[in-house]
Amino acid sequence: MELTNNLAEVNQRINIAAKKASRSVDEITLITVTKTFPTSDIENLYQLGLRDFGENRDQEASKKVTNLPKDIRWHFQGQIQSNKLKSITSWASCIHSVDQLRYAQLISQLIGDAKMPIFIQVSLDKTSKNRAGVEPDELIKMATQVSELPGISMQGLMAVAPLDMAAELAFANLAKIREVFLTSFPTAKSLSIGMSGDYETAIEYGATHIRIGSSILGNRASIA
Ligand SMILES: *Cc1c(COP(=O)(O)O)cnc(C)c1O
């Protein structure tokens, strides 16, 4: 079966990349990004042992979630809209794409007595202003405010390598930003970087959460 083979290949490449970086695979969580793919694919991957899945849109994910096993950990990694957060916090185990303080404040209010694990998304884009992510020079200020919210558990940083930049360069930039970040927030050690095209490089630069779609599921009909 195609999914089985794809997953085996991805796992093998993760193992090799981890070994090369002298890291343990146990510190790397594979999140399979299932946006645009049907629940039948998720069921098959669940049968293969996967429990962490990533989605970008509330409308799509909230429907899928109701028909799938309850022990799946759902990761939200798409662009946040305030009016969707009530729903997102009802199904997501973790939110990777927090890039504004007001979203973190809203999540903290919505989550009640619990704590939502979140990542702060950092922009690595030097040229375009409308990409997601907080600007690196605003990161510490925002993280300080986010870390004080009662309903938030700040896990670390998340980023997407810009299309017009080599992943090596993007992740090396992020590693410098993260080094400074960790002096203020030493427990927020997680790092959510790496997609189908660059996850081996991401592992080299310390990724703890890699988000892989097409290498496991095949090409998407439309980009979510
Ligand atoms: C779609 C998406 C991914 C997975 O992308 P692939 O290239 O298919 O592996 C990872 N992260 C984010 C934020 C995405 O939107």
Protein residues whose CB sits closer than 6 Å to any atom of ligand 1? 33, 35, 56, 77, 160, 195-197, 211-215
Residue 2 has a CB neighbour count (10 Å cut-off) of 10
How far is C-alpha 88 from the geometric centre of its chain's CA atoms? 14
Using a 10 angstrom Cβ sphere, with 0-12 exposed, 13-18 middle and 19 or more buried, the burial of residue 48 is middle
**195 CA to centre of ligand 1 in angstroms:** 5
Q: What single DSSP character describes residue 68? A: S
Whether the Cβ atoms of residue 161 and residue 193 lie closer than 8 Å to each other: yes
Q: Which atom of ligand 1 is nearest to the CA of 160?
A: 13
Q: How far is the CA of 158 from the centre of ligand 1 (A)?
A: 12
Q: How far apart are CA 170 and CA 92, in angstroms?
A: 28
Domain ranges of the chain: 2-217
* Phi, psi (rounded to 5 degrees) for 81: -125, 135
Ligand 1 nearest-atom number relative to CA 214? 8
Q: Output the residue whose Cα is nearest ligand 1's atom 11.
A: 211
Residue 197 CA to ligand 1 centre (angstroms): 9
One DSSP character per residue, 148-202 reads: T-TTEEEEEEE----TTS-HHHHHHHHHHHHHHHHHH-TT--EEE---TTTHHHH
pLDDT tens for the 224 residues of the chain, in order: 799 999 999 999 999 999 999 999 999 999 999 999 999 999 999 999 999 999 999 999 999 999 999 999 999 999 999 999 999 999 999 999 999 999 999 999 999 899 999 999 999 987 766 679 999 999 999 999 999 999 999 999 999 999 999 999 999 999 999 999 999 999 999 999 999 999 999 999 999 999 999 999 999 876 55
Assigned CATH topology for domain 2-217:
TIM Barrel (3.20.20)
Closest CA to 198 of 6, 4, 10, 34: 10
The answer to whether 208 touches 189, Cβ cutoff 8 Å, is yes
